[in-house]
């Protein structure tokens, strides 16, 4: 199944999209990567969905990526046995480490790490920023606050501490358990939530041990302060605008989004723009014009992928949401300004043979109007380089690793095909022309540009470029 677009679609599975028929419809509508949200659902639920996706993959012959999105250290208050309370601006409210009944005057906050990081004047945001408290005085077990922005408050609402690095690992015991399960299940990407420091990514990499690729969700201001280092040691990045928009003023999120996308492009790291992209389609069969523009902006900015969350996980119109996102992407990519803008901001290639060959492949393919660029790769690095160049022709990735083929479902412009390992370059050329023809990228008499590394099977050694005519 060939997609006639370059930007990929990530969709979240959930109660509205759990059965085989719905997952099939979502895939046929355009989903390239399925996100499994480990904040919800049991391991049994996730395994059933994984089995459905893998069966669909085998049937369609197209590699499909599975992203396991870990919950991360979500900070929450305790409960109110007598029901929700209403806080008013100017009220005094106490947060306490010790357990106890939530009342109009106090609630439990069972996170000693927060108290260790607080000081007078610190603001805390509750329930995604709907309630704002300011610390008046505190110690390592409690905090007396004043209500700055009032509102209703109920059980287990989330807590954000903007501008403060809370001394928490990005991997809770639940996350470690979920990660082990996801790796055994065969997830291709592990998404880390609430990353604050490069050390958080290093810790996860050590535990994952190469069994999956690491995707970092950027949703904490502290992570933006060390953005270059975090992106450098990640395999891919998600601009998670929901939580980022809670801790930062809304007007700061768009320029940060653009900054992240530009950095990822320059480093050759796939980047996803996520959260509330077609949010009204949770309840309506069509999006607002502002939402359509939001998706289009991410595509114009050259994000590798755009993501649907509640729209497909819990919404009333999951298929329509994917179809709409597919239509928006294709419309943007047909605009002459789209690739002109991409090439105007072309990253400078590294001074390596591999980067030079990949740049040459794009220029040759465009000059001779090739049907596609064929990249033969083991690790995927050759194909990621080709994707960074944003060529005007499709990228056909041929690899002997199904793991690599699935991972590349996230990368811009890449159509991956897994084949048996070839030992000779002449055999690669023959297979490249066969696959280009069978997958619909070129016909008899058309030309394709092939890149590979010799000797075969050595990752990151692209050193051959060849133009071949389809027999």
Q: Among all residues, which ones are annotated catalytic?
A: 35, 76, 217, 275
3-state secondary structure of 406: helix
- Burial label, 405 (beta-carbon count in 10 A; 0-12, 13-18, 19+): buried
Within 10 angstroms of residue 182's Cβ, the number of other Cβ atoms is: 29
- What are residue 147's phi and psi, to 5 degrees? -75, 115
C-alpha to C-alpha distance for 55 and 47, rounded to whole angstroms? 12
14/162 Cα distance (integer angstroms): 30
The neighbouring-strand residues paired with 462 are 453
Report how far residue 126's alpha carbon sits from residue 128's, in angstroms, rounded to the nearest whole number.
6
The CA distance from 359 to 354, in Å, is 9
Cα 426-427-428 angle, rounded to 5 deg:
90
Q: Which long-range contacts (CB under 8 A, 24 or more apart) does 252-260 make?
A: 256/224, 257/298, 257/301, 258/301, 259/227, 260/218, 260/227, 260/231
Distance CA(228)–CA(225), nearest Å, equals 8
Inter-residue contact 448 to 441 (CB < 8 Å):
yes
If phi > 0 it is left, if psi is from -120 to 50 it is alpha, else beta; for residue 30 that is left
Quote the crossing angle between the two packed helices 173-185 and 198-208, to the nearest 10°: 40
């Amino acid at each position: 199944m060939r997609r006639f677009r370059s930007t990929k679609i990530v969709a979240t599975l959930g109660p509205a999209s759990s059965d085989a028929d719905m997952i099939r419809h979502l895939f046929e509508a355009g989903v390239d990567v399925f996100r499994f949200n480990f904040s919800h659902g049991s391991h049994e639920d996730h395994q059933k969905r994984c089995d459905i996706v893998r069966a669909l993959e085998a049937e369609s012959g197209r590699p499909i990526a599975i992203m396991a999105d870990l919950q991360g250290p979500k900070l929450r208050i305790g409960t109110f046995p007598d029901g929700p309370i209403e806080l008013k601006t100017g009220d005094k409210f106490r947060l306490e480490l010790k357990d106890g009944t939530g009342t109009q005057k106090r609630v439990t906050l069972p996170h000693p790490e927060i108290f260790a990081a607080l000081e007078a004047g610190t603001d805390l945001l509750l329930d995604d920023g709907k309630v704002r408290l300011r610390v008046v005085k505190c110690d390592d077990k409690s905090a007396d606050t004043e209500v700055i922005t009032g509102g209703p408050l109920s059980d287990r609402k989330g807590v954000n501490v903007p501008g403060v690095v809370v001394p928490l690992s990005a991997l809770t015991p639940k996350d470690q358990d979920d990660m082990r399960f996801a790796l055994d299940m065969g997830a291709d990407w592990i998404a880390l939530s609430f990353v604050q420091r490069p050390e958080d990514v290093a810790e996860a990499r050590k535990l994952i041990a190469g069994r999956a690729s690491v995707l970092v969700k950027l949703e904490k201001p502290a992570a933006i302060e060390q953005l270059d280092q975090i992106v450098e040691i990640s395999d891919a990045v998600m601009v998670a605008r929901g939580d980022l928009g809670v801790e930062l003023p809304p007007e700061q999120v768009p320029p940060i989004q653009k900054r992240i996308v530009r950095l990822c492009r320059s480093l050759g790291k796939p980047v996803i723009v996520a959260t509330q992209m077609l949010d009204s389609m949770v309840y309506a069969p069509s999006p607002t014009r502002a939402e359509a523009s939001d998706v289009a902006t991410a595509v114009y900015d050259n994000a590798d992928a755009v993501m649907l969350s509640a729209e497909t996980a819990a919404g009333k119109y999951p298929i329509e949401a994917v179809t709409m996102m597919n239509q928006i992407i294709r419309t943007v990519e047909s605009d002459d300004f789209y690739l002109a803008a991409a090439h105007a901001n072309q990253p400078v290639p590294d001074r390596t043979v591999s980067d030079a060959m990949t740049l040459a492949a794009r220029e040759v393919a465009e000059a001779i109007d090739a049907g596609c660029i064929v990249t033969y790769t083991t690790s995927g690095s050759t194909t990621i380089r080709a994707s960074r160049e944003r060529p005007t022709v499709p990228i056909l990735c041929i690899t002997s690793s199904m793991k690599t083929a699935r991972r590349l479902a996230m990368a811009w412009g890449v159509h991956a095909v897994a084949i048996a390992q070839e030992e000779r370059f002449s055999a690669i050329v023959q297979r490249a022309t066969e696959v280009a023809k069978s997958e619909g990228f070129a016909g008899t008499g058309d030309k394709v540009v092939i890149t590979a590394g010799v000797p075969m099977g050595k990752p990151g050694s692209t050193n051959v470029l060849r133009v071949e005519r389809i027999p």
